[in-house]
């Protein structure tokens, strides 16, 4: 079976991508920063005998992926920071996202003639705009140029709410530009999920180690968040994101395309309502106290038709996320 390189394999999305690949008979080579992190992953993934690791200490280093890409058939590039602990927008978010993306493409072009396709984990943050091209909602035609303009104005001090979408926009644009520069032996697919929830496969020992999206749910479960946050945005289950990535590898017509991997849009009022119904013995912030704007629709028609992804509901996604957090962290 084909060998697939998955970058940042111990991350939330990447671990599920590896799970999906291994479940479907692929061999997986995962990049990680230290080899000891891989042992836990082998204990929770199927067919661990088909999983190997290669250390990439810093994805922005020149040639960081040169050895990792050799001999693989496909690449799924998941490694990119998503957090709000930002002191320097360029150092903490922009450079890792952009240089990591262009770095792996350069390594594939120079050292991996066997690679047929590269799939990158982009984000709805790279799509989101207040003036969508399609009047029905956000589509693959849209780009978050506003975040990039905000970064250009504010520089290193750009707040994370602007710096993160700018990092995803610039990284994805850099990937497409790279392929335009000259003919390549491989093509490219970008997967654009919104807030990603779902069961955790990665190792976590405290709420602070939980990925950014799922931490919202953890903080509602523990009572750390005492008022419903005024957030209304897209959601998707990580298992559907993983399935979309793997389908994007081999569906011929997927090449050269972006795909919105979104299960729909929801407010935190709706998210907490699911938690309140699923866990009636717990106390959650009261309903009706938060003013939230109506989120733009995220059109997932292309992913459903081309990739064949069927998306889980908000109810199942949130409930399964909460169950996983409670089991792993005993919260």
Tell me the pLDDT tens digit for each residue of 252-267. Answer: 999 999 999 999 999 9
Residue 84, pLDDT score: 64
- Residue 116's pLDDT band, with cuts at 50, 70 and 90, is very high
Residue 81 has pLDDT above 80, yes or no: no
User: DSSP for 252-319?
Assistant: GGGTTEEEE---EEEEHHHHHHHHHHH-TTS--PPTT----PPPPPB--HHIIIII---PPPHHHHHH
- For residue 6, the cross-strand partners are 30, 76
Residue 83 has pLDDT above 70, yes or no: no
Residue 293 has pLDDT above 90, yes or no: no
Gap between the Cα atoms of 238 and 12, Å rounded? 8
Residue 309, pLDDT score: 98
- Residue 182's pLDDT band, with cuts at 50, 70 and 90, is confident
Residue 292, pLDDT score: 79
Tally DSSP H helices, then E strands, for the chain: 11, 10
- Residue 154's pLDDT band, with cuts at 50, 70 and 90, is very high
208: Cα within 13 Å, side-chain hemisphere: 1
In the chain, at which residue ranges do the beta strands (DSSP E only) sit?
A: 3-7, 27-32, 51-55, 74-77, 117-121, 187-192, 195-197, 232-237, 257-260, 264-267
Burial 117-142, CB ≥16 within 10 A → b, else e: bbbbbbbbbbbbbeebeeeebbbbeb
The stretch 69-73 carries a mean pLDDT of: 98
89, 156 contact by CB (below 8 A):
yes
Locus of tokens 């069961």: 199
């Amino acid at each position: 079976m084909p060998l697939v390189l998955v970058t940042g394999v111990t991350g939330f999305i990447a671990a599920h991508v590896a799970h999906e690949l291994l479940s479907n008979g692929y061999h997986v080579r995962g990049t990680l920063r230290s080899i000891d992190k891989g042992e836990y992953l082998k204990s929770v993934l199927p067919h661990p005998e088909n999983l190997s690791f290669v250390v990439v200490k810093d994805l922005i280093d020149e040639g960081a992926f040169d050895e990792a890409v050799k001999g693989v058939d496909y690449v799924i590039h998941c490694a990119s920071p998503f957090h709000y602990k930002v002191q320097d927008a360029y150092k903490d978010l922009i450079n890792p996202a952009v240089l990591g993306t262009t770095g792996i493409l350069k390594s594939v072009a120079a050292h991996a003639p066997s690679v047929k396709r590269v799939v990158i984990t982009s984000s709805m943050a790279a799509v989101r705009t207040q003036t969508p091209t399609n009047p029905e909602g956000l589509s693959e035609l849209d780009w978050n140029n506003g975040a990039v303009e905000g970064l250009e104005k504010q520089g290193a001090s750009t707040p994370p709410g602007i710096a993160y979408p700018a990092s995803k926009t610039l990284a994805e644009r850099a990937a497409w530009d790279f392929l335009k520069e000259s003919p390549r032996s491989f093509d490219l697919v970008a997967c654009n999920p919104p807030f990603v929830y779902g069961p955790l496969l990665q190792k976590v020992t405290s709420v602070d180690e939980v990925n950014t999206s799922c931490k919202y749910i953890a903080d509602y479960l523990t009572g750390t968040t005492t008022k419903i946050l005024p957030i209304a945005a897209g959601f998707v289950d990580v298992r559907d994101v993983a399935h979309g990535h793997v389908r994007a590898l081999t569906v011929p017509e997927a090449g050269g395309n972006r795909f919105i991997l979104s299960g729909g849009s929801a407010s935190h009022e709706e998210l907490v309502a699911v938690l309140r119904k699923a866990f009636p013995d717990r106390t959650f912030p009261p309903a009706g106290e938060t003013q939230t704007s109506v989120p733009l629709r995220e059109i997932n028609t292309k992913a459903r038709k081309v990739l064949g992804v069927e998306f889980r509901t908000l109810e199942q996604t949130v409930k399964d996320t909460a169950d996983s957090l409670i089991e792993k962290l005993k919260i």
